[in-house]
Amino acid sequence: MKLFDVYPLIPVTPVKAEGAKLWDDQGQEYLDLYGGHAVISVGHSHPHYVKRVQDQLNQIGFYSNSVQIPIQQSYAQKLGELSGYPDYSLFLCNSGAEANENAIKLASFATVKSGFIAFSGGFHGRTSAAVALTDNSKIIAPCNAREDFQILPWGDLQAVELRVKEGNIAGIIIEGIQGVGGIQVPSPEFLTGLANIAKDFDVKLILDEVQSGFGRTGKFFAHQWVKDIKPDIISMAKGMGNGFPIGGILISPAFEASYGLLGTTFGGNHLACAAGMGVLEVIEQENLIQNSADLGAKVMEELKRIPGIIDVRGHGLMIGIDLDRDAGPVRSELVKKYHIFTGSAASKNTIRLLPPLNIEWNQLNSFIIALKEILATSPILK
């Protein structure tokens, strides 16, 4: 049997990882500034995280949600404290797409409506409803397409209000910061306007924090950079488990739970919750949210001074860099010559930085030096 060939791969085979470093099967060391799509939050193989998972595995690794699993409640308590949402409820699942599916379903149940609004450049997952709200026609199969799901222009509050007034809109979904779209930060006016429209027309506001949550941006959630935004539902995954598959949604007190309303076999299992607890404990103990804010501000300031860079966006350690040339060859040279992993984006001119939150300044500075050298010597291919 062979693998179904759907991934363009970097020709590197990592076999060991620690902190922000990777080693391949030839012993070559790499600096990881991408974290496998923003998944590695507290660093590869963090000893506290590893111990948490190992200790849990030595007791019980899994049982379904047909029995009491006390670590779920412990996790919910700690997450409420650190996120600033102690009065919200938690539903656990396994991935970001699954989190968004449940958010969409819950909003539809609550409003008894079927329509949803998303935005240009957005990415919410590859499954049924989530992909229908993703701005990429190449990954939307005919069975996914829906006429009552609308993708509207980014930042256009007037278009949103007009569509909502037409009726049958259950929810508005927006990323705290667009990831695949190239680290596009919604303006405070846009987020506040969406919240007001949602409140005025009984529409549920869903903040997709799958990539931008868990301290990535220098706040626990990216939308917390905007004052007084309280979404109806917040979707989460990626950095939540530092590599262990875990996702979830935070649900406002306005929603009423009932048996069978949502469900999952694997979501919230013992191992997943142990991994999640390990992440939260390291974030808290090592003050990683502040570290993300401080190092992110510093690296963005340095990047803005480099010739060949035309824009730098983001918050914390979620950074988008627009070049005056195609970013593909630059990223390839970063891997081949300097042994540094970075991320791509929808725009061919954009590099994404999504490193572990406990990365050190000297590691980020080595990337800045490498990028300066490449941009000073490589041809401009647009």
Do 133 and 217 lie in a common domain? Answer: yes
User: Which of 226, 261, 285 is the C-terminal boundary of a domain?
Assistant: 285
Q: What is the pLDDT of residues 44-82, one digit of tens each?
A: 999 999 999 999 999 999 999 999 999 999 999 999 999
Do 257 and 305 lie in a common domain? Answer: no
Instruction: Please name the residues in contact with 76: beta carbons below 8 A apart, sequence gap of 6 or more.
Output: 89, 90
Do 142 and 280 lie in a common domain? Answer: yes
The widest CA-to-CA distance across the chain, in whole angstroms, is: 62
Do 22 and 82 lie in a common domain? Answer: no
Instruction: Look up the domain containing 224 and give its range.
Output: 47-285
Domain count, the chain: 2
Do 259 and 273 lie in a common domain? Answer: yes
Looking only at the bridges linking them, the beta strands covering 233-236 and 247-251 are: antiparallel
Q: How confident is the chain (382 residues) per 10-residue block, as mean pLDDT?
A: 95 97 98 97 98 98 97 98 98 98 98 98 98 97 96 98 98 98 98 98 98 98 97 98 98 97 98 98 98 98 97 98 96 97 96 98 98 88 58
Do 88 and 192 lie in a common domain? Answer: yes
pLDDT at 378: 74
| Residue 8 within any structural domain of the chain | no
Q: Which two tokens stand for residue 379?
A: 């041809």
Domain CATH for 301: 3.90.1150.10
| Residue 2 within any structural domain of the chain | no
Do 130 and 182 lie in a common domain? Answer: yes
175 φ/ψ angles, rounded to the nearest 5 degrees: -75, 145
| Residue 326 within any structural domain of the chain | yes
Domain CATH for 61: 3.40.640.10
Query: Are the CB atoms for 116 and 257 separated by under 8 Å?
Result: no
pLDDT at 333: 97
Do 145 and 249 lie in a common domain? Answer: yes
pLDDT at 248: 98
Concatenating the DSSP letter of every residue in 122-153 gives ----SSHHHHHTSS-GGG--TTT--TTEEEE-
Do 42 and 57 lie in a common domain? Answer: no
| Residue 4 within any structural domain of the chain | no
pLDDT at 382: 55
pLDDT at 381: 60
User: Which of 285, 310, 327 is the C-terminal boundary of a domain?
Assistant: 285
Do 19 and 168 lie in a common domain? Answer: no
User: Which of 255, 285, 315 is the C-terminal boundary of a domain?
Assistant: 285
Residue whose tokens read 């012993």: 27
Residues belonging to the chain: 382
**CA 161, CA 16: separation in Å to the nearest integer?**
50
| Residues facing 289 on adjacent strands | none
> Is the entire prediction scored with pTM above 0.95?
yes
Concatenating the DSSP letter of every residue in 345-363 gives -SSTTEEEE---TT--HHH
**CA 377, CA 257: separation in Å to the nearest integer?**
59
Do 26 and 161 lie in a common domain? Answer: no
Do 274 and 153 lie in a common domain? Answer: yes
Give the E-state strand segments of the chain in sequence order. Answer: 14-18, 21-24, 29-32, 89-93, 115-119, 149-152, 169-175, 204-208, 233-236, 247-251, 309-315, 318-323, 340-341, 350-353
